[in-house]
Amino acid sequence: MWYTLVMNKPTERKKLDLHGIRFGSWLAFLMFGIFIIAFLWLTQVVFLQVYVNKTKQADFAMVARELEREYRVGGDEYRKAFDRISNETGYTIDVLQIEGVRGTVLYASSGFRFGDDSEPLPFNLDSGTRTVAEGAKGSEGFYNKDDDAMQLMYGVYLDEDETVLLVVSQSTQLLESTTRILRVQMVIATVVIIVLSFCVSFLLSSALSQDLTRLSNAATRLTKDDYSVHFDEKGFSEAKELAKTLNYATSEIRKTEELRRELISNVSHDLRTPLTIIKGYAEMIRDLTGDDKEKREEQLSIIIKETDRLSALVSDVLQLSKVQNQTTPPEMKVFDLAETVRRAGNSFDLLALRDGYDIQFDIDDYSLVAGCEQQLELVVYNLIGNAINYTGADKKVSVTLKQEGDKVVFKVQDTGEGMDEEQLRHIWQRYYRASEHKRSVVGTGLGLSIVQSVLSRHQAEYGVESTIGVGSTFWFALPFAKADG
């Protein structure tokens, strides 16, 4: 007993393809996540103070205008309005009498600058208040951020002499605390988003590339003539559609390859027989019957007959290749199909006269269709020839061309043995011949295949009807066309 030891080869690690869709999509998703993080940092941390300053300045100015209006129309009662507004907004409101670097508190919403008798108290201006007092001169209002006192301040003078200063302020401690909390949250969010972006982008890029990699691997097998390959129709919709298209293309390539092999096999077989006969009779004439005129003439006739058979086979192969060549579309035009049928029928006059065939024509005078006249004439010729080849002992063939509704219908009927359902399924195949026929016309087995190819390219309706013991009728229909111009 023999044993075979199979060594497992070490698995080769696949290198990262920097130009592949997996790396590209992963990098794109990751960069998008980083962009989102950078945007959040800019808006929530870096530019937060700028946004707060702009917003507070506008809000302070609006509150100051309302306070100024209450001050001018309220008289000594303005303090009640100021208290209400301070409670509603949460802002600290002060009214100061400015005298150089000193000032007197005329009103303070917090009340901490008033004594027990509620009399105004003088005080020295701090740096923040001095800055606001100087900036508010000659302007409609001045905004300042006092980092030392941790306050946002807005000042505007209430009198024309610019001695009574209204100051609206708010502590920045809460804002600074909120900013610190945001920074901590942003650090945590940054870590989480980067990790999630990395993982999600990796999974998505893998899912995207997995479909294409699977299709690419299957396509590689196809390039190695493995026509059994199947493209899995799963994954994203685009991948499913691509797989479906590739499966259809593979099926067509498989059929083409089978037909190619069949064609080569059949043509080789059909060529081998007449060539063998020609060679045999040629050698016989050379070696034995060259001086016997009667036998020589008989054998030369056989050689000529087999040569004609070869010529017909080559001609039909060329015709089939031409009509199936999708890169050269037929020259389409409107023409009279009746005239084409008559012309094709005239080609069989000698055969009818010599062998006694009765070919009856019933053709409408004027039947316009759109198509390639040369190819449709070939169709008519092949169908009539096929009917003659398979007709019965009475040698009758009926050819009709009639307009039925908006269609022009061509029919050719023989009186042969007819075909059963199994034969009808194969009648259009290359080299298929009915089992019982009278071979009056030299045939190659390609005529009906040529007919099918031409009619399919013209999008014509076509078919065959047959009854055992009665005969067969081949037909095709084309839309009736209007004359040009």
Phi, psi of 484 (to 5 degrees): -65, 140
Does the pTM surpass 0.85? The reply is: no
The CATH superfamily label for domain 329-479 reads Histidine kinase-like ATPase, C-terminal domain (3.30.565.10)
Q: How far, in Å, CA of 141 to CA of 387, rounded?
A: 108
The CA distance from 198 to 31, in Å, is 9
Number of H helices, E strands in the chain: 12, 13
Residue-by-residue pLDDT tens, the chain, 485 positions: 333 344 444 444 556 566 666 677 777 777 877 888 888 777 766 676 777 778 878 888 898 888 888 888 866 678 888 888 888 888 889 888 888 778 888 888 875 444 444 566 677 778 888 888 888 888 888 888 877 777 888 889 988 888 888 898 888 777 777 777 877 877 888 888 778 877 877 777 777 677 777 777 777 877 777 777 777 777 667 777 877 888 888 777 777 777 667 666 656 655 665 677 777 777 877 777 767 777 777 778 777 867 776 776 676 666 666 665 555 566 788 999 999 999 888 888 877 777 888 999 999 888 899 988 888 888 898 899 888 888 888 899 999 999 998 999 999 999 988 888 877 777 776 555 554 444 444 455 567 877 888 888 888 899 999 888 889 999 999 999 877 65
Q: Which fold has domain 237-321?
A: Helix Hairpins (1.10.287)
- Phi and psi torsions of 296, nearest 5°: -65, -45
Q: Two tokens at 73?
A: 């129309």
Domain 18-210 has CATH 3.40.1710: no
Q: Please check whether residue 454 is in contact with residue 329, taking contact to mean a CB–CB distance below 8 angstroms.
A: no
For the chain, the domains span 18-210, 237-321, 329-479
Place of tokens 């016309």: 441
